[in-house]
Amino acid sequence: MTAHKVAIIAIIVVILILVVVLVVNGGAHRGRKHHEQVEEIVIPPCPTIPPCPNCPNCTCPQPPGGILANCTLNTQCSNGLICQSGQCICPPPAAPTVTVTRSATGVVSWSWPAVVGADSYNIIVSGPCYTNEFFNQTATSGSTVTSVCAGTYTVSVQANTANCGSGPFASSSTPLCASNTDCPIGNPTCNVATGVCH
């Protein structure tokens, strides 16, 4: 075999060795890439806002209104919400306690203690000589201003809040008198100062 043929064979062997090395390295690299694609990514859990040790299933991130579920205490809720049946809810205002009177001059008045959380009130007044409606009133009292006849006057009041809507209407239906003749048999005496029969 001549030296020229030996050189050619040597070159061919080197080329074959290089091809084998490239194929092996390429397959290993593709295997690593495939392994990286199927590898599971673990995301650490987010902290709850506000702190909620008894709420393992709270959503993350939490909504502006506070914790949605699995609360056990009002302190786990935010923005004035309360915990009810495991959920933070916006409590509607309570119904007002309405009092209705008639003065000696015949002016019918109504009032109620301020309701916690209320921003304003809706009032409906109806009676034999006076009917009116007031909406979004901030005061906790009102009157007919002028004298009206005796009879039964019904005043219904509803509390409103900026964030939690309106509560139920509370009504007071009071027979108001000007004299004893306006009073029923069971309560024959008229208290002229308050317009209430006793």
Query: What does the pLDDT look like over 109-160, one tens digit per residue?
Result: 999 999 988 999 999 999 999 999 999 999 999 999 999 999 999 999 999 9
User: Is the pLDDT at 191 greater than 60, yes or no?
Assistant: yes
Is-contact 94 83, C-beta < 8 A?
no
Output the pTM of the full model: 0.58
Token readout for 60 is 């993350």
State which of 91, 123, 149 marks the end of a domain: 91
CB neighbours (10 Å) of residue 56? 9
40 belongs to a structural domain: no
State which of 62, 91, 120 marks the end of a domain: 91
CA atoms of 121 and 141, how far apart (whole Å): 10
> Are 127 and 82 members of one domain?
no
180 belongs to a structural domain: yes
Note down the domain range covering 132: 99-197
Name the domain count of the chain.
2
> Are 118 and 189 members of one domain?
yes
User: Is the pLDDT at 39 greater than 80, yes or no?
Assistant: no
∠ at Cα 158 (191, 115), nearest 5°? 85
Residue with the two structure tokens 């990514």: 41
CA atoms of 190 and 10, how far apart (whole Å): 131
Please tell me the predicted confidence (pLDDT) of residue 54: 46
Please tell me the predicted confidence (pLDDT) of residue 60: 42
> Are 87 and 119 members of one domain?
no
Helix (H) or strand (E) holding 171: strand 170-176
